[in-house]
Amino acid sequence: MKELSLNILDIVQNSLTAGASHIEIDLAETDETLRITVTDDGCGMDENTVRNVTDPFYTTRKTRSVGLGIPFFKLAAEQTGGGLTLKSVPASESDGHGTVISALFYKTSIDFTPLGDVASTLCTLVQGLPDGTEITFTHSLPGGTVSLDTAEMRAVLCGVPLSTPEVIVFIKDDLASQYAEARAMK
């Protein structure tokens, strides 16, 4: 994939399929590294799935025999000298269920895939976000932090859907100005 933000879209899509009501997207960036962590409270995976999930020939979907979301993300991280970790608790267990996927990238590697347009990726996600699912996004950069909280936004919007074009434009502009500020502070 040309942009890591598209890998993120794919990983978050898995959380949506897993019926998550809260998805946390956390990007932590230094001058040398980028860590991308996606946490959800969805149905989780059993041990067997966790073991097989980084193998491109494993999937539970019926339409195609190959699941590539996680293997691609893992490969992109490993190519830079980093790696991917996955922790999951299935819904069958009594304690809180859900999944945490975290990938570390070395930005200094020539094989580092640029993050790309995260703001657009987020807008795509927000636009199609089902009712009852919230996203918290945080991107910490050396010069500051960019954030978005859909639950907070919904509270301010008093019933106006997040998918309203004006709302999406507002979110995009707001993220752009947060990024401009964080990058200017460096």
Residues making contact with ligand ATP (CB under 6 A): 10, 14-15, 18, 40, 42-45, 49, 53, 59-61, 67-71, 99
DSSP string, 94-118: SSPPEEEEEEEEETTSTTPPP---H
For residue 121, which of 69, 179, 71, 172 has the smallest C-alpha distance? 172
Least separation in angstroms between residue 88's CB and Mg ion is 14
Does 121 help bind Mg ion (rule: CB under 5 A)?
no
Toward ligand ATP, which CB reaches closer, 51 or 183? 51
Q: Which of 109, 127, 116, 136 is nearest to 21 (CA)?
A: 136
Closest CA to 172 of 112, 123, 103: 123
| Residues 30-89 contacting Mg ion, CB under 5 A | 69
What's the closest the beta carbon of residue 146 comes to ligand ATP, in angstroms?
23
Euclidean distance between CA atoms 51 and 43, whole angstroms: 16
Nearer to ligand ATP, 18 or 118 (CB): 18
State which residue, 38 or 89, has the beta carbon closest to Mg ion: 38
Close Cβ partners of 165 (under 8 Å, ≥ 6 residues apart): none
Residue 82 binds which of ligand ATP, Mg ion, none (CB < 5-8 A, kind-dependent): none
Minimum CB distance to Mg ion, residue 79 (Å): 19
When asked if residue 14 is in the footprint of Mg ion (CB under 5 A), the reply is yes
Helices then strands, counting H and E runs in the chain, come out as: 6, 6
Question: Given the complex with Mg ion, which of 42 and 69 has the nearer CB atom?
Answer: 69
